[in-house]
Amino acid sequence: MEIVFATSNQHKMKEVKAILPSSIHLLSLADIGFMEEIEETENTIAGNSILKARTIFEKYKIPVLAEDTGLEVFTLNMEPGVYSARYAGEPSDAENNMDLLLKNMELVTNRSAQFKTVATFIDRDAYYSFTGVVIGAITQNKKGNDGFGYDPIFKPSGFDKVFAELSLTEKSIISHRAIAMNKFANFIKTYQSR
């Protein structure tokens, strides 16, 4: 089955391809000739996930998978949350975002946080939603070289490494995105055999 994954983020594409079964042929936005930026104008992670999927579905009328992710820090009232990409302003810059978050948490002792991914699948005007959450903590400093975004400062619970110190295979077992995409993978198995 061919599904468009509505992202221009190559890291996300790699992670999702590593999780979904080989029966799913994932097309990128470039594969279908969509080169624009989809503006994230909703004020929830779920809202932006639906917005991305709907934008592509309405234009191309092909099955679409989209996702939106946010980092939520409990003692900051779940910020940066839906504003994770542009926390330190636009254009989005991962180093600036992390620096600002570490600065805003200088005096914070409870560093609990979660990554949340909401994936949306649209086919023939029906919407399906899959959520993945991973709990962890914001470290005091950046570490590691792998991954992207806030990976250098997020340590998942039960691990002594941050996401940026894990391999793609390791992150793909425990991450927020993996949890959401595994739910989608289970759903699509039965959906395809209908």
Q: List, by residue number, the catalytic residues.
A: 68
Rounded to whole angstroms, how far apart are CA atoms 176 and 108?
A: 24
- The residue from 85, 113, 137, 188 that contacts ligand IMP (CB under 6 A) is 85
Nearer to ligand IMP, 23 or 89 (CB): 89
Closest C-alpha among 115, 30, 28, 93 to residue 66: 28
Rounded distance between C-alpha atoms, residue 127 and residue 146, angstroms: 33
Distance, in Å, from the CA atom of 88 to the CA atom of 8, rounded to the nearest integer, reads 21
| The pair of three-digit structure tokens given for residue 45, joined into one six-digit string | 């992670």
Q: Which stretch binds ligand IMP (CB under 6 A): 26-34, 91-99, 137-145, 179-187?
A: 91-99
Give the span between the Cα atoms of 131 and 31, in whole angstroms.
Answer: 26
Instruction: Write out the binding residues for ligand IMP, residues 60-79 only, by CB under 6 A.
Output: 68-71
Question: Nearest distance from residue 194's CB to ligand IMP, in Å?
Answer: 30
Q: Binding to ligand IMP (CB under 6 A): which residues in 96-125?
A: 97
User: Which string of x and - marks every residue 158-187 that binds ligand IMP (by CB under 6 A)?
Assistant: -----x-----------x-x----------
Work out whether strand 112-123 and strand 64-73 pair parallel, antiparallel, or are unpaired: antiparallel
Six token digits for residue 113: 């946080």
Is 42 or 60 the residue whose CB approaches ligand IMP more closely? 42
Q: Scan residues 6-45 and list those touching ligand IMP (CB under 6 A).
A: 9, 40
Compute how many other C-beta atoms are within 10 angstroms of the C-beta atom of residue 130: 21
Contact residues toward ligand IMP (CB under 6 A) are 9, 40, 68-71, 84-85, 92, 94, 97, 147-151, 163, 175, 177
